[in-house]
A and B are shown apart, each in its own frame.
Chain A
């Protein structure tokens, strides 16, 4: 192909480059700048080199938070994806039920995250919360403030409540795009319910599922607001995720250097994991 190379075309993307530079690159560079320096206030900085990075990567606090994050993401993906598919499959395809279901499904997504946290914080309290009180009343010893297991259950249930809708809506969009002829042909071919799911519905949902898994993974790996509001990272450090740890370091202790180093590592981890996810899933797609 004969293409005309014209470097003037770069001017056309210049506005975007400038915009991205100000919104993303410049702040990121500021963080890079902090991460290699130390300060004791008064805006006086000292060169620290890779000290913060070394300290971070050798601290058990960081790795524990990281493991908590991974476990959390794994659990909510394992629950939200199958549950989302299941709900999407059972949603009505036509009639008055469609708008009703769509609105119900969108509700949790419309609530601000800190409000979601507050709702569950109150909902789960064993003294006045609707759920907490009655769980205790029927003899289940539930107290998320003191019991790490209860705290985890609360946060996971909250996240499932909050985000399963997203998976549902994405899957539903995939499902309604399947023409009726496919289901009719499947009937003619004598396909079982499972075969219809496996060979018609799942392949059609595959692309949106890829997006759903990616979004839910990134989001859950960055989770901050809701556990911060509900448990504040406790009891102990049992629900302290990377983001909560980061804020504690940066704003609680005003250790800008270590916090910046941590941010960068955190950013790279997300970037890396997202890339791995995406590559694995698109390759799998291409193979099939």
Chain B
């Protein structure tokens, strides 16, 4: 186990990067604490897999440094870093049996055969493939194969960290849930440092203690699931997390009041800065639909089961509100914004509000 320091790391796939746009990873400076469960969350192409491959040593960063427990490992090979990594698509050695597949990383490191046997049996129990041990890996289903890939990561107990690169993409929804809770359990039991890359917010929020949200080659916010939900630091986090995402509308600020068209909205405090493009963000969960407040025109009501999502137009802006399953939409609908859920953004970054 190790603490991993990513020290001002930048990476470009081009030989001579010039502008920021040439960098797949613009700059990442972050510490993954020893024994932490982290999720790297972001849309495709935001650089999360690049960051993962830099940590595991499959990629050498263009700039910056990587430390394991304070030791510089930037120039060490993958093997020397002693990292386990599970890939998006199952990688199995299909001429080997399931047992030999799991034993492979141990045997390559010259672990005595008695220990290999013990570890492999333990891991087979863990991933629930004990009865398949003697079978050829070739004939397995996609999720069994992916379990083997997972197993090869878990079989080495001395790894510095286990990295997952969207490992559950090919797995059935039901198995996804099972495997994810197994991973979570393993984490609690053995305290591995785990970094889990995904673009699925549910996966990230349920797996990790700390979610690292990446956007356009950089980290935009690091926080617990609750923090990401309540106080998105960047409008992107607001959009990306939550279903539907946060409502973001351009406003003008004057003291404690925000003006949106002809509407005036009371703020919970005075924003500390209001230069640049100022926007107000509020999650649909904090938009109250009723018979007082600002008049809106309803465009659509989506019943998603547990609750309803109301799509409406406020001063020509699309907004969404979440209402209970049994609530009805009033004849002359109006909305109020719950002050507890209001965030103010200047140039897309959140600004604090004073009393």
Contact = CB atoms under 8 A, between A and B. Distances in A.
Interface string B128-155: 0000000010000000000001001100
Given A192-B108, A288-B136, A187 B95 contact: no
Interface stretch (B86-94, B277-285, B332-340): B86-94
A189 B95 contact: no
A190 to B, nearest CB: 4
Contacts of B108: 189-192, 195
Given A181-B88, A192-B108, A187 B96 contact: no
A288 B105 CA distance: 21
B87 A181 contact: yes
Residue with the greatest number of chain B CB neighbours at <10 A, chosen from A181, A200, A288: A181
A192 B105 CA distance: 11
Contact of B105 (A181, A184, A189, A200): A189
Interface string B87-116: 111010111100000001100110000000
A218 B116 CA distance: 46
Interface in B140-197: 149, 152-153
Contact of A185 (B53, B94, B96, B149): B149
B93 A188 contact: no
A195 B93 CA distance: 10
Contact of A188 (B84, B88, B96): B84
Given A181-B87, A199-B93, A199-B96, A188 B78 contact: yes
Contacts of B152: 185, 189
Q: How large is the interface on B (under 10, 10 to 19, 20 to 34, 35 or more residues)?
A: 20 to 34
Contacts of A190: 79, 105, 108-109
A179 B78 contact: no
Nearest to B57: A187
Contacts of B56: 188
Contacts of B78: 187-188
Interface string A51-80: 000000000000000000000000000000
A47 interface: no
A233 interface: no
Nearest to B152: A189
Nearest to B89: A181
Interface residues of A, number: 16
Nearest to B59: A184
Contacts of A192: 108
Contacts of B329: none
A188 B53 CA distance: 11
A181 B91 contact: yes
A288 B88 contact: no
Nearest to A198: B95
B353 interface: no
A199 B83 CA distance: 21
A179 B57 CA distance: 18
Nearest to A206: B95
A92 interface: no
Contacts of B88: 181
Contacts of B109: 190
Contacts of A267: none
A191 B104 CA distance: 8
Given A195-B108, A288-B136, A188 B95 contact: no
A182 interface: yes
A148 interface: no
Contacts of A288: 95, 136
B58 interface: yes
Contacts of A234: none
A108 interface: no
Contact of B58 (A184, A189, A195, A200): A184
Interface in B44-81: 53, 56-58, 77-79
Interface string A173-187: 000000101101101
Interface of B: 53, 56-58, 77-79, 83-85, 87-89, 91, 93-96, 104-105, 108-109, 136, 149, 152-153
